[in-house]
Structure 1
């Protein structure tokens, strides 16, 4: 964590957004491995459940990227998803959370976003939380953080494992007043992940005052990356991690 007054005691950590997603299919081994080639600090990825309740890495609400418009991850069993999503490529096939953790947790920090959707039953939201935290298991150095846009899911996660670091993802229209109110009722949160368009000194100062982690998404232009670095964020999430690393380290 950084000290108050925006004077960082260490460099901002650069996380590759779904891996090096401009060089390979996002959330795949190819994307993760290419990102690690840039000596990044961490990887951000997304978890959903297949129809047969296997935790897999996929971001979008639908499967339009593979030509299945209007279809969702939870319309298919895991075996079907393996056959549908680039089955000819080991590097760009769908990845389970279990395999991702086995292959990457020792290589860098991880930020795992749980995608709990409106159409899912609350019981399924909670199952996704339990599966994710159970698969992560022991996390003594807190190199793995879980996030979500779904606040009730994070409250449930805290109830399930009070020691686990949890980050709430802010939407574009949420303000520093919303952050202040939220932290007064959800003090257990490890931090907030704020869109770069909403990040300013007031937001950072509030989080610093309460010793919370400051994460920001998704910083892609030089101006966005520079703003996040000057504000001394803890975690900078980018689609162009090599660019963020260059600006940070030069």
Structure 2
């Protein structure tokens, strides 16, 4: 049987050992033979794409309130690492441009999960697309979102950037739905869909990548199912299991 290379994406960087979505977490992940890094993108009040997961600041920074209600200068006054450990106090919320410039020296892909309210879809994509084009990174970028309207609108531009929709629930007749958005990527919560429901998608050429798999047995199951890729907070563990399989 032909060996299938299931990609391993470091979820928010090497987030099991470092504060998520920080440069130190990304740099630690880059030391591993990973296939990609997943990171979350939001807009600041002054419309600059930054890397942070929650729409509010409290969990992973010393700030309070919504990310989009703060300017970049305001956000830069908060530590993005002290919540995890005092030794990471110097970490700040990275800008997308900072990450793109840094990633140029590597070959792995970047999965940008876009997070914005519906009324900011156009502003979000224009800001992100400008940076991708400016830094010549379109062939190494994967755009994903829970906002399927946003993904469909990106696909309608006939862009060369790969896209994917993200879902939590198990979908009924997923292939027809995914194809209706125009994307060929499907990121799903691993426990919510059976192998038999995913196999037809892969046979139809859809790239399927379950998230966020941190359990060793589930990793083995995913690799044995030969999915396109997985997202994990433990990429170092996943790489070892992939090698063993």
Q: TM-score, normalised by structure 1?
A: 0.86
Q: Given the alignment of the two structures, is residue 98 of structure 1 paired with residue 97 of structure 2, yes or no?
A: yes
Counterpart for residue 170 of structure 1: 167
Counterpart for residue 147 of structure 1: 144
Q: Which runs of 5+ in 2 are unaligned?
A: 83-87
Contact 2:62 2:79 in 1 (8 A): no
Given candidates 37, 47, 60, the residue that maps to 1:43 is: 37
Contact 2:110 2:142 in 1 (8 A): yes
CA distance in 2, matches of 1:10, 1:133: 31
Counterpart for residue 85 of structure 2: none
CA distance in 2, matches of 1:87, 1:235: 28
After superposition, give the CA deviation of every residue in 1:151-188 in whole Å (9 maximum; x if it has no partner): 111112122343321100011x232x2413313422x2
After superposition, give the CA deviation of every residue in 1:25-49 in whole Å (9 maximum; x if it has no partner): 1111100111122222210000000
Counterpart for residue 121 of structure 2: 125
Task: Tell me the number of residue pairs that the alignment of Structure 1 and Structure 2 aligns.
Answer: 235
Secondary structure at the aligned position of 1:22 is classed as coil
Q: CA deviation at 1:109?
A: 1.2
Identify the structure with bigger relative contact order (alpha carbons < 8 Å, sequence gap 6+). 1
Distance change >3 Å, CA 101–CA 202, structure 1 → 2:
same
CA distance in 1, matches of 2:210, 2:179: 21
Of the structure 1 ranges 93-102 and 203-212, higher mean CA displacement relative to structure 2 is found in 203-212
Contact 2:178 2:184 in 1 (8 A): no
Counterpart for residue 242 of structure 1: 236
Distance change >3 Å, CA 214–CA 8, structure 1 → 2:
farther
After superposition, give the CA deviation of every residue in 1:7-40 in whole Å (9 maximum; x if it has no partner): 7653111110000112221111100111122222
Counterpart for residue 177 of structure 2: 182
Q: CA deviation at 1:67?
A: 4.2
Distance change >3 Å, CA 227–CA 87, structure 1 → 2:
closer
**Superposition RMSD on alpha carbons, in Å?**
2.2
Counterpart for residue 130 of structure 2: 134
Secondary structure at the aligned position of 1:84 is classed as coil
CA distance in 2, matches of 1:92, 1:161: 37
Q: Which runs of 5+ in 1 are unaligned?
A: 1-6
CA distance in 2, matches of 1:78, 1:157: 26
